[in-house]
Chain A
């Protein structure tokens, strides 16, 4: 080596302070990745952190809560058989709906469906969208043309029409709805990922990866996808509320979950029919839904700020 013995170049590292001794003992210097940097910035964003906590609490309550509620979501209280105000003696803490079913249990169950749809349908969209987008962007040429024209065609298919046909052909199936929504939502995801991939693929580190003997598949998996993930995560947190809203809309139209199962959208639809008599049955699920959407949007916003490339 031509230069002097390599010393740690950080300030203070070569001074004879106790700190330096401790550093010298440390076997490896742990680096801080861009993810960790972004997470720190996210933590500093109070609105986003509160949203994240609210979401976690809500999801937890929706999935664990039904165990603690005395009534199940499909049980009809034959003593009541109508909408009643909250009553702690009968165990209907939020009252009952028009058929005498416990409203709290139904809201919790509806929350389960809404969260599941949000997460599962978005996962479907994520997997398909990232794979197609990264492949199209990276391979370019004819592959890109074919895949993107397919996306164009899919965009042109009316969403409602597509979902109604699916429901008619395959019957109303809980999981089919996840797939149907996911199949629609991946289009935008693939466009976004493709765009990001195009900007990445001419970077020198991709060329370096090819020179180090990487195949196309391994370059996509090892370099392209981790680097587009930042943008994708932001889009995912903004897609989840969209999907929840779409499910609510479908349920509102009667195309979503099948009774007695319910979702927040279905509950709102039921409540809307009786909003003049018992506004409670409309307001409570609506508040839950709006809070969730609001929190997801805030979290997405915070993530976008945290992962902003200009901040790096």
Chain B
């Protein structure tokens, strides 16, 4: 695999936020994503975790260029998506799809399930006949576990899980190479979550697609991912193979996150050692100097306030951005 599949280098997404000024606004950048780099290989799942507001969703949208990147490179099969014009970008999106968090909101309420699933086909396969399109839609509905005869139903007539299946069918119908899953299961019941995650894994195996799986649920990320990226305030804290990350988390933030995952055993759960983080997520408009995590880090020292920690290798397939990971 010498050909880079998806390469993200130093990606930055800053939103201007008006912070003052009476007539002429004063704008300060809100650094939603600030210098994120990672690679993704064909057929691989990269889990992206982090707490609310850390830039997970923005990162996913920026990879698809649904939100313009401020700086950095999103290299897709060798072409930089950030440099493409509108037409080229639309052409490139044929292989890049997204599944959204809110199943109902991501479906047009005035369209039938069949029309929704067929929409990418209408855009990218305009020569397809109506019957051919319908056949493909029905096959895909069956594939994602929907009755093909529900093709004429409307989104509000489906349950949340079924709506998410429609969303997945729409993302998969063009057989894309990369699908961004933006918290695809967080709006669903636990039992439905498992079904949808397993469906995604099945589809990944059958179509050989790569997934960028954004979630705040560490258990699900552990189930589906090959590698995991931990984000905090728009920066990468740790990037590691799944086994390494869950067995030996190096970054204090990852350790805190993992210690917060409930264990389904009351005795163990009561006696486990929880790392409690104090304080709130700092404002991304005015992030702390040096290491962004230092204000809540139990190990922070003066060096953390002064220099930004770089990602450094911490063993096989594990990278961590912390001055004190060896302590």
- Interface, chain A (partner B; CB < 8 A): 1-3, 6, 8-9, 26-35, 203-205, 207-215, 218, 222-223, 226-227, 312
List A contacts of B186 (CB < 8 A).
none
Q: Is the CB of B66 within 8 A of A9?
A: no
List B contacts of A205 (CB < 8 A).
105-109
Interface string of B111-132 (1 = CB under 8 A from A): 1110000011001100000000
| Complex: A241 Cα to B88 Cα, angstroms | 48
| Complex: A27 Cα to B109 Cα, angstroms | 23
Q: Is the CB of A211 within 8 A of B64?
A: yes
Stretch at the interface among B44-52, B154-162, B292-300, B315-323: B154-162
| Range of interface residues on B (Cβ < 8 Å) | 35 or more
**Out of B61, B86, B154, B199, which one reaches A34, CB within 8 Å?**
B154
- Interface, chain B (partner A; CB < 8 A): 61, 64, 66, 86, 90, 93-94, 96-98, 100-102, 105-113, 119-120, 123-124, 145-147, 149-154, 156-157, 159, 167, 170, 194-195, 198-199, 202
**Out of B64, B105, B159, B194, which one reaches A9, CB within 8 Å?**
B159
List B contacts of A204 (CB < 8 A).
100-102, 105-106
Q: Is the CB of B123 within 8 A of A212?
A: yes
Q: Taking A1-B145, A3-B145, A6-B147 as contacts, is the C-beta distance between A213 and B123 under 8 angstroms?
A: yes
Q: Is the CB of B152 within 8 A of A31?
A: yes
Q: List 8 A-B contacts (CB under 8 A).
A: A2-B194, A2-B199, A31-B150, A32-B154, A204-B100, A212-B119, A222-B119, A227-B109
List A contacts of B150 (CB < 8 A).
28-29, 31
- Min distance, Cβ A24 to any Cβ of chain B, angstroms: 9
Query: Among A1, A31, A210, A211, which residue has the most Cβ atoms of chain B within 10 A?
Result: A211
Q: Is the CB of B153 within 8 A of A213?
A: no
Q: Is the CB of B106 within 8 A of A212?
A: no
Q: Is the CB of A214 within 8 A of B123?
A: yes
| Complex: A30 Cα to B167 Cα, angstroms | 20
List A contacts of B106 (CB < 8 A).
204-205, 207-208
Q: Is the CB of A203 within 8 A of B145?
A: no
Closest chain B residue to A211, Cβ basis: B98
| Complex: A1 Cα to B120 Cα, angstroms | 24
Q: Is the CB of B152 within 8 A of A212?
A: no
For the complex with contacts A8-B147, A28-B152, A31-B157, 18 further pairs of A-B residues with Cβ separation under 8 Å are: A2-B202, A3-B198, A28-B150, A28-B151, A31-B113, A32-B157, A33-B154, A204-B106, A205-B105, A205-B109, A207-B98, A208-B100, A210-B66, A211-B97, A212-B93, A213-B120, A213-B123, A213-B124
**Out of A2, A27, A29, A212, which one reaches B153, CB within 8 Å?**
A29
Closest chain B residue to A205, Cβ basis: B108
**Out of A27, A31, A218, which one reaches B123, CB within 8 Å?**
A218
List B contacts of A209 (CB < 8 A).
108, 119
| Complex: A203 Cα to B109 Cα, angstroms | 11
Q: Is the CB of A6 within 8 A of B156?
A: no
List B contacts of A27 (CB < 8 A).
149
- Min distance, Cβ B121 to any Cβ of chain A, angstroms: 9
| Complex: A223 Cα to B61 Cα, angstroms | 20
List B contacts of A29 (CB < 8 A).
147, 149-150, 152-153
Q: Taking A2-B202, A30-B152, A227-B109 as contacts, is the C-beta distance between A207 and B145 under 8 angstroms?
A: no
Q: Is the CB of A215 within 8 A of B90?
A: yes
Sort A-B residue pairs by CB-CB distance and give the 8 closest, nearest first: A31-B153, A2-B198, A213-B123, A204-B106, A212-B120, A226-B110, A204-B105, A31-B154
List B contacts of A35 (CB < 8 A).
110
**Out of A214, A222, A227, A312, which one reaches B156, CB within 8 Å?**
A312
**Out of A26, A212, A312, which one reaches B170, CB within 8 Å?**
A212
Closest chain A residue to B87, Cβ basis: A215
Query: Among A27, A213, A218, which residue has the most Cβ atoms of chain B within 10 A?
Result: A213
- Min distance, Cβ B52 to any Cβ of chain A, angstroms: 17
List A contacts of B97 (CB < 8 A).
211-212
List A contacts of B146 (CB < 8 A).
6
Q: Is the CB of A213 within 8 A of B198?
A: no
- Min distance, Cβ B12 to any Cβ of chain A, angstroms: 21
**Out of A3, A30, A211, A222, which one reaches B93, CB within 8 Å?**
A211
Q: Taking A34-B156, A227-B110 as contacts, is the C-beta distance between A203 and B105 under 8 angstroms?
A: yes
| Complex: A243 Cα to B119 Cα, angstroms | 39
Q: Is the CB of B149 within 8 A of A34?
A: no
